[in-house]
Structure 1
C-alpha cells in the first residue's frame, strides 16, 4: 500500500466532512440466473414450516442502519448489520414474497473477526457475494440462491487503515470491492478484485481517488468494465461533489483521481449507480438548492462522458430527499429515497427513462407508515418487479438503536404490492417488540 497509509484518520473523515458513516446505496447487478436454475431449497425445514402453516418468528428490531439487496437465481437476498453475534445477517425472499430465512442467516461466521458492519451484496451469476467492514479490513462470504452456505468467511484485505462503506459489483468472472483507506492526509477510495471463491486477484490495492477526503463509494458493471462512484472533496470539504472512475475487468484504472459527475454548489453525497444497458445512471443526495436535500442524477456513457453535467432533478419536493438507491430494467430505472416532505421519514420513488425523462416528477409513496419513521432504502430488480427494503423505527435513524428491516415490492407501473410491509428482521431469541410503535412527530 502507499506510504500515506499510516494511522487511521476516521476523525478527519467523520468530524470535518461526512458526519456519522452511512451506508451508500445498493448496487443492483444485472446478472441473474434463469429462475429454473435456482435448484431445490437447501433449508428444507423452512419449506416444511410453510407447508404446515407454522407462524413466522416475531418481528424484532435487530438491525442497525439500512439494508442492501441483490437479486439472482430466482431469489432476492437482503443483508443488514445486526445486533446479534457476528453482526452481518441476511434473508432470502422469493419474488412472491415468501421469506425463506425467517430468523435471518448469520453470514459472518468467522470465529475471531466476529464483528461486522456496513454490509453490501452483489450476484456473480452463480452465488451472492456479501462483503463488509470488519473494523480490521474487509471480509466476505458467499451464499447460493438455494440457501447452500454461507461459505467460509474470506478476507478481501486485512488492514487497520481500511474502514467505512464497502462497494461491490460483479462480472461473471470476478467482483470489484471498494472501500476507504485512511491516512494522516485524509481518505482514499481504493479497490481490490476477488475471484468467484473470494480469493484476492490483486497483489496491491488499486488506488482510485486523488482528493484529500473521499468516501461513500458504490460500483456497477456494464458488461466490459466497472464504474466506481464516490463522494469527493475536490469541491471543498464543506461542499463535496460526486466523482467517478472506470476500472477494467483486468484491474486497469482508466481515470486516476476520477472525473466529475455531479458538481454543483452545496453538498453532493451518498451516490448510487446502476447500468441501464446503454448508460450508467448515477444518483445522489444534493443540497445545491439551500437547506434541504434533493435527489439528483446523471447519465454516464461507457467512455466516461457525462450526458447531464448540470444534473437531472429527480426529486426537489419540500423537506429532505436523500440516501437514494437505484435499479434498472428494460427502459426504466427506479430511484428510491428517504423523504421527509410530510414530516416523518418515508420511502418514495420515481421512474427515470433511458433518455433522462423523470416519469414521476413529484414521486410516489412506497412505504406505508407502519412505523413512525422509515428510512435508508435499497432497491433491486428481479422477476418483473422491484424489491425495496428499508429500515424502520419509531425514531429516525438513531445511531446504534436497533430497528426493523421492512420491504415493499413495486411493479413497473408504480403499484406497491405489499400492505402491510414485508418484515425481514424476525427472531425467537431477541426481546419482544411490537411492529406497531408510537409514531414520532
Structure 2
C-alpha cells in the first residue's frame, strides 16, 4: 500500500496492476435468495442478525473535503461501482454509516484512491479506472448528481488523481503513460459537470518520468498550482518536486513547470494547499537516508521561498504520504509514520512563517487498529478532520476499514477511539 519505497513510475505501475487485479474481484451477494419460500422462525431469527449489505471494505486510502457544514470522505470500496463515501457532521456524527455509492455509472469500477473537492455548492469526486478517469458531483445532502462524466478515455492513465475547484471550474490531474515516459495531464470541468477539452493539457516535460500530482486553488490570483514528483532524466531514486500554475481559463503559466525541491535523493508524494498568502507544499524526502517529511513555501507567482526545504518531521523510521490543510495562520500536516515499527498517523502544525510548531510531531491515530496508514486531511467548521485506513495488517489486496478523527487548533485529538467511517463485519 505504501508508496514511499518505490520509484515514481514503479509505484504508479504497481497501482495500475493493483487496480486491474481488484477490478476482477467479485462483490459478494447482498442477500440470500429464498426462491419465494417462507423462512422458518429459526431461519428468520438468523437472517435478522445478518446486516442488510456486506460490510464496506476499502481498497485504498481515503480522501476528504469540507463543504456546507459537512466533511465528505470517499474511498475505493469492494462493492458495485468501486467508489463510496460518507458525510460527517462537525460534531462527529457519521451521517451515512452504510456509505453512499458515488460511482453510479455502469462502466468500469473505480480503482485506487479517489479524490474530492468542494466548489461552493457541490462536491466533485473523481477516480481512475481501467478505461480512464471519471467523476461525478455530490450535493451536501448526499445526493449524487448524475450522470457520471468521462474526463479522459484511455487505458494509460495512472493513479493518483487529484482535484481542486474554483466556483466556476475544477481542475483534475492524473498521470498518462507513454512508451518511454509518464507525464502530468490536467482536464477542466465546469461547475455543471461539463468537461472542457483544452488544446494543451500537459504540465510536465517529456520524454520524462513524472507522477504523484496534487493540485490546489488560489482564490486570490484565480489560478491553480499543480505539484508532482519528477525524475527529469536523473533516474529512479533522484526524483524532485516540481510545480506548474494553471489559470482558471486553462492557460498553462509556467511552461513545463519549475523546481520546488531539488535536494539529493528522492522527493515523492507531494501535496499542496493555498493559505491565503502563499502556497504550502509538503512531500516525503529521503535526503537523510530514510523518508522524512519536508515542505516549502511558494509565493503566488511561483517563487520558492524555502529552496532548501523545511524539515517537518525527521523522526526515526519512515515518514511518508504527507497531506496538508490550512486555516488562519497555520497548516496541519499529517502523514504515515513508522517510528514505533508499525504504521500510525502523526501530524504537525506549520505556521505561515514556516516555523514548525510540533517538531517531534503528535499522534493523531491512537492504535485502534494494529496498522493505521494513508491519511488525508481537510479543514472546516473550526477544526481539522483526518481520515485514514486501518487494518489488522498490510498485505497485498487485503481490504481494510476507513477511520476518522477531528483535530483542533491546539493539536488535540477529539475522537478516541476514532470514528468508524465504514462498518466492520
Give the TM bin, normalised by the shorter chain. Answer: 0.7 to 0.9
Deviation at 1:391, TM superposition (A): 0.5
Deviation at 1:18, TM superposition (A): 5.6
CA distance in 2, matches of 1:117, 1:188: 18
CA distance in 2, matches of 1:320, 1:83: 29
Match of 2:376 among 353, 371, 378: 378
TM-score of the pair, normalised by structure 2: 0.86
Match of 2:356 among 358, 366, 372: 358
1:178 and 2:178 equivalent?
no
Q: What is the aligned length?
A: 382
2:121 aligned residue:
126
**What is the correspondence of 1:11-160 to structure 2 with a 5 Å cutoff?**
14-15=9-10, 20-21=14-15, 60=55, 62-160=57-155
Structure with the larger RCO, 1 or 2 (CA within 8 Å, 6+ apart): 1
Shift in CA distance, 13/276, structure 1 to aligned 2, threshold 3 Å:
closer
1:196 and 2:172 equivalent?
no
Deviation at 1:204, TM superposition (A): 3.2
CA distance in 1, matches of 2:275, 2:8: 32
1:215 and 2:211 equivalent?
yes
Shift in CA distance, 270/243, structure 1 to aligned 2, threshold 3 Å:
same
- In the alignment, structure 2 segments of 5+ residues that lack a partner are 1-6, 17-50
1:403 and 2:400 equivalent?
yes
2:416 aligned residue:
419
Deviation at 1:120, TM superposition (A): 0.2
Q: Please say if residues 9 and 211 of structure 2, whose CA atoms lie closer than 8 Å, have aligned partners that are also in contact.
A: no
TM-score of the pair, normalised by structure 1: 0.83
1:237 and 2:236 equivalent?
yes
Q: Please say if residues 163 and 180 of structure 1, whose CA atoms lie closer than 8 Å, have aligned partners that are also in contact.
A: yes
Match of 1:341 among 339, 342, 352: 339
Q: What do you get for the CA RMSD once the two structures are aligned?
A: 2.0
Deviation at 1:58, TM superposition (A): 10
Deviations along 1:374-400, one digit per CA (max 9) or x if unpaired, are 00100000101100000011113x332
DSSP 3-state at the match of 2:108? coil
Q: Please say if residues 327 and 379 of structure 2, whose CA atoms lie closer than 8 Å, have aligned partners that are also in contact.
A: yes
Deviation at 1:161, TM superposition (A): 2.4
Q: Please say if residues 233 and 241 of structure 1, whose CA atoms lie closer than 8 Å, have aligned partners that are also in contact.
A: yes
Q: Please say if residues 61 and 402 of structure 1, whose CA atoms lie closer than 8 Å, have aligned partners that are also in contact.
A: no
